[in-house]
Amino acid sequence: MDRLSSFSNDPSDNPPCRGCSSYLMEPYIKCAECGPPPFLLCLQCFTRGFEYKKHQSDHTYEIMTSDFPVLDPSWTAQEEMALLEAVMDCGFGNWQDVANQMCTKTKEECEKHYMKHFINNPLFASTLLNLKQAEEAKTADTAIPFHSLKMAVVDIYHSRLKERQRRKKIIRDHGLINLRKFQLMERRYPKEVQDLYETMRRFARIVGPVEHDKFIESHALEFELRREIKRLQEYRTAGITNFCSARTYDHLKKTREEERLKRTMLSEVLQYIQDSSACQQWLRRQADIDSGLSPSIPVASNSGRRSAPPLNLTGLPGTEKLNEKEKELCQMVRLVPGAYLEYKSALLNECNKQGGLRLAQARALIKIDVNKTRKIYDFLIREGYITKA
């Protein structure tokens, strides 16, 4: 049986479900045999037959919802209540604000519906007239209507002033006046903590500034501890049991990464070996890496040049580990054997983990020219080393 719900738009203002304690959203179930207080259940708890004390799953029940028309077929009862609440909050005539608060109707629809059914409707007009006459007859000797109206306006004005002062106090206490300074302070945290700061900012009005900062600092400390624990777990996996060995491990790991980067850069520049400007750019990029700077100059060749000849593999390390087809691939793609073997091993490992490999995954693993990556990927697929996902 449908009933008109008195729930507000804010779910936190609604009563909780007796089964799962979540805030009830329409439609919901009300037991017709239990109460008072009313025994309310959400649809999920009702369907699984929730029972509690005297309440049994075979009791009669009512379906509580406001999704039915009252005055207009295109307006539900829930929208009627939302319209009245919006007019009460925003004031009569502020139809744009009323529509913004409702979110389901336009400004013109709100104004037309309110004027038709609540202002120009004879039923509501006569009811309001009777109520007004009864109120005037009751308070004729003690109340002055115009004086009461002025007092109501003053009360509304004071309530708005209090709300404005409350918001200013929140902004001042949390240091949000100088937003630029606040953003610079946030940048000292890692990316994950910055995202947490942005998410939790809307809850700053609930707690004080000291409690809010302590909450963020505690999460930042948790992030640092998790990162350190992960680093220690990496040491333990590698069989390291003391910090002296850990420093040596970090140094060797950094050295290996630098060597891998150098090999990758060498394989990129070999196809432009006849381009003097590209070679100069590569040498400057290599000098930046040796000096500890991040490389920022990409290696590019002049447009319009004819394709480079096949790479000569004579004397290059790793050539003896290749079969004839792999040698032919390295010559045509102009890829040094050592880099090819490294790329091949990375693709094989990822394919074994995932049970297959896509071209996009291969390009994410080996960050070289996309055309070279496709040729290597197609070759490994064709020769049966890896399979497509």
Among 2-16, 181-195, 356-370, the least confident range: 2-16
Burial track 336-347 (b if 16+ CB lie within 10 A, e otherwise):
bbbbbbbbbeeb
How many Å apart are CA 29 and CA 51, to the nearest integer? 13
The H or E element that residue 31 is part of is strand 28-31
Residues 326, 375: one domain? yes
Whether 318 is in a domain gets the answer yes
Same domain (yes/no): 54, 78: no
DSSP 316: -
Whether 202 is covered by a domain: the verdict is yes
Which pair of structure tokens corresponds to residue 240?
A: 């390291």
CB 36 within 8 A of CB 25: no
Q: Both 36 and 77 in a single domain?
A: no
Residue 17, domain CATH: 3.30.60
To the nearest whole percent, how much of the chain has pLDDT over 70? 75
- 324 lies in the same domain as 222: no
- Contact (Cβ atoms closer than 8 angstroms) between residue 7 and residue 13: yes
User: Looking at the structure, do residues 263 and 374 belong to the same domain, yes or no?
Assistant: yes
Same domain for 63 and 78, yes or no, is: no
Task: Give residue 301's pLDDT.
Answer: 44
Instruction: Mark whether 217 and 334 lie in a shared domain.
Output: no
Give residue 289's pLDDT band: very low, low, confident or very high (50, 70, 90). low
Residue type at position 32: A
Least confident of 13-22, 225-234, 289-298: 289-298
Which candidate, 58, 38, 61, 39, places its Cα nearest to that of 49?
Answer: 58
- pLDDT for the residue numbered 249: 86
**Higher pLDDT pick, 204 / 235:** 235
Contact 377, 350 (CB under 8 A): no
In a domain, 152, yes or no: no
pLDDT at 350: 86
Query: What's the CATH number where 94 sits?
Result: 1.10.10
Whole-angstrom Cα distance, residue 359 to residue 380? 11
192 vs 17, 37, 186, 224, 376, CA distance in Å? 34, 45, 11, 11, 36
Long-range pairs, 153-159, Cβ under 8 A, ≥24: none
Is residue 149 included in any domain, yes or no?
A: no
Decide which of 21 and 380 is more confident: 380
Among 75-79, 128-132, 202-206, 217-221, name the one with the lowest average pLDDT. 128-132
Q: What is the residue range of 293's domain? A: 254-383
Among the residue ranges 95-104, 145-154, 304-313, 363-372, the one predicted with the least confidence is: 304-313
CB neighbour list of residue 256: distance below 8 Å, 6 or more residues apart: none
- The Cα 265–Cα 277 span in angstroms is 15
pTM beyond 0.75: the answer is no
Question: At residue 304, does pLDDT exceed 60?
Answer: no
Check whether 4 has a pLDDT greater than 50. no
- For residues 267 and 378, state if they share a domain: yes
Residue with tokens 């304690």: 21
pLDDT of residue 282: 65
* Res. 129: pLDDT tops 80: no
d(Cα 145, Cα 149) in Å, to the nearest integer?
6
Count the Cβ atoms, other than its own, within 10 Å of residue 89: 11
Q: Domain tally for the chain?
A: 4
Q: Are residues 275 and 371 in the same domain?
A: yes
Q: Are 267 and 330 a contacting pair, CB within 8 Å? A: no
Evaluate whether 61 touches 39 at the Cβ level (below 8 Å).
no
Identify the bridge partners of residue 357 per DSSP, sorted by sequence position.
388
Residue 40 is inside which H or E element, if any?
strand 40-41
Banded pLDDT at 133 (limits 50, 70, 90)? low
DSSP H/E element including 168: helix 145-173
Q: Please provide the distance, in angstroms rounded to a whole number, between the alpha carbons at the two ends of the chain.
A: 53
Among 2-16, 145-159, 221-235, 320-334, where is mean pLDDT lowest? 2-16
What tokens were used for 353? 């983990």
Residue 229 pLDDT class (50, 70, 90 cuts) = very high
How far apart CA 269 and CA 279 sit, in angstroms, is: 7
Dump pLDDT digits (tens) for 174-213: 777 766 766 676 677 677 777 777 777 777 777 777 887 7
Q: How many CA atoms lie within 13 A of 211 on its CB side?
A: 6
Average pLDDT over residues 152-172: 81
The whole-number pLDDT of residue 275 equals: 57
